[in-house]
Amino acid sequence: MSEKKFSMLGFIENICNEIGPRLGTYENEKKAGLKIKEILAKAVDEVEMEDFTCHQKGFLEFTKIAFVSSVIATVIFFWFPIISMLLEFYAVSTFIFEFLLLKEYVDFFFPKRTGTNIIGKIKPLKENKKIIVISGHHDSAYEFPLFEKYKEKFDILAYSTVGLILISGILSLIEFFLDIFNLSFLILTLIFLTFLIIALILLGYIAFRLHSKNIILGANDNLSGVAVMLALAHHFSSQRLNNIELWCISFSCEECMRGSKRFVKKHKNELKNSHTINFDMVGRGNISIISKEPAYLTKHSLELAKEFQDSSKRANLELPIKVAGFGGTDAAFFSKAKLKAISVIGLTPGDYPDTWHELSDTPENIIEECLEKTLKVSIQYLTDLDGRISNIIS
């Protein structure tokens, strides 16, 4: 195994320059996966490519399905308010089930495609007492102009729109009962209709402006996370842990939240006593430990977050514990499965991910010190944990 220090920035530049943007399940993402497998194979004891299928477009395009539902609801409001109500509630349900709960609620509308997770394993020197998953993702995203425009205020736009659609459904129900009892009158009906129209306009704005056709290079989101994972694999291939088996994973399809979901479902029983440290967008910003992802209704392990923070203090690089804003990470499915997990992310002063889904997410904007900081703290954490396990055994 090579003793040469792994160049995290060199890896990011290489993937961006030689392969380019990597939309989940498409050819460039597969090329990146093969390259990561090749690099991992030089450091780990075993590496495999694990295929899965998913309807990749469902996660983003549910907004268009909700929009069509709201259009019909608005058009028929005067004549069939009860159906209008059902259609508005269906529009809200797509947000709840497809986004908040990650249930693949409308995925059947879209074609099935194949993604590939890359999994490498480094065995411990002695008895295996715990599995630690270190992970990132190698797909990149569409450009999101609304993210760049609104930054941390985008969640206000999104949740306000969902709230107005919900109110529109309730007003449709009220209109239905007013019609039954002959209590409806034109001005009130027009006021109700105004709410439906405003909700429809906002939903259309999000649905058709959420992302462009451009695909970002994804240097920070998330080749930076994969780079740290690979650097950790190279470090611990030559300085093996005594009682920790290290699983080094690069997920496919994080931008549609499918790769990690398939992985956790398949490996949950193996990972019952595991910890997961997920790295996402660690090439810029204030490197932080994420303990909650409210957008995905997920709480991570606060115990693990504090342990990781304690190790960062011992490394003289104290990391804050933060709550994620809009969106989330691959750590979500581990925590939803009651497995201990956290994410490590670089944030702006407003606690917003830096260069998130922006065309400026290029290798030139990576800050190498952020990568090194994340790497150093992670080495400290894994070394500390291995020491504690060894002490308990002895």
- Tokens 């709960």 label which residue? 101
With cut-offs at 50, 70 and 90, classify the pLDDT of residue 2: very low
Residue at which a domain ends, from 183, 209, 235: 209
> What are the phi and psi torsion angles at 160 (to 5°)?
-65, -40
The verdict on 332 and 251 lying in the same domain is yes
The model's pTM: 0.95
**Do the domain assignments include residue 113?**
no
Identify whether residues 24 and 51 lie together within a single domain.
Answer: yes
Given a cut of 80, is residue 394 above it in pLDDT?
Answer: no
**Is residue 1, in this structure, part of any structural domain at all?**
no
Could you tell me if residue 329 is inside a domain?
yes
**Average confidence (pLDDT) over 135-164:** 96
Which of 202-211, 245-254, 350-359, 375-384 has the lowest average pLDDT? 350-359
In angstroms, the Cα distances linking 223 to 33, 54, 277, 282, 359 are 11, 22, 16, 9, 14
- d(C-alpha 10, C-alpha 25), whole Å: 24
Q: Say if residue 214 is preceded by a cis peptide, omega within 30 of 0.
A: no
Domain count, the chain: 2
Examine the domain organization and report whether 30 and 164 are in the same domain.
Answer: no
How sure is the predictor about 1, in pLDDT bands with cuts at 50, 70 and 90?
very low
Range of the domain at 188: 66-107+148-209
DSSP, residue by residue, 254-318: GGGT-HHHHHHHHHGGGGTT-EEEEEES-SSSEEEEEEEEGGGTEE--HHHHHHHHHHHHHTT-P
Last residue of a domain, one of 158, 183, 209: 209
Classify residue 3: in a domain, yes or no.
Answer: no
Q: How many CB atoms lie within 10 A of CB 5?
A: 9
Which phi and psi angles does 127 have, rounded to 5°?
-70, 135
pLDDT beyond 80 at 263: yes
Q: Is beta strand 286-293 parallel, antiparallel or unpaired with respect to 340-347?
A: antiparallel
Judgement on whether residues 308 and 373 belong to the same structural domain of the protein: yes
| Same domain assignment for residues 194 and 173 | yes
Cα angle value 358/364/368 (rounded, 5°): 110
Instruction: With respect to residue 2, please indicate whether it lies within any of the assigned structural domains.
Output: no
Report helix, strand or coil for 84: helix
pLDDT of 384 over the 90 cut: yes
Residues 279-299 have pLDDT tens digits of 999 999 999 999 999 999 999
The DSSP annotation for 141-158 comes to -B--HHHHHHGGGHHHHH
Give CA–CA dist 38/138, Å, rounded: 14
Determine the Cα–Cα distance for residues 134 and 118; give it in Å rounded to an integer.
12
Amino acid at 49: M
Examine the domain organization and report whether 379 and 323 are in the same domain. Answer: yes
Is the pLDDT at 346 greater than 80, yes or no? yes
Residue 393, pLDDT > 90, answer: no
Q: Is the CB of residue 48 less than 8 Å from the CB of residue 107? A: no
The pLDDT score that the predictor gives to residue 3 is 52
Rounded to 5 degrees, φ, ψ at 340 are: -70, 125
Please spell the DSSP secondary structure of 25-80, one letter per residue: TSHHHHHHHHHHHHHHHTTSSEEEEEEEEE-TTHHHHHHHHHHHHHHHHHHTTTT-
For residue 101, the SS3 value is coil
380 in any annotated domain: yes
Over residues 205-214, mean pLDDT: 97
* % the chain with pLDDT above 70: 99
Q: What is the pLDDT of residues 68-112, one digit of tens each?
A: 999 999 999 999 999 999 999 999 999 999 999 999 999 999 999
CATH of the domain at 361: 3.40.630.10
Q: What is the mean pLDDT of residues 41-60?
A: 97
Is residue 361 located within the same domain as residue 304? yes
Mean pLDDT rounded to a whole number for the chain: 96
pLDDT confidence bin for 326, thresholds 50/70/90: confident
344 and 134 Cβ atoms separated by less than 8 Å = no
At 152, is the pLDDT very low, low, confident or very high (cuts 50, 70, 90)?
A: confident
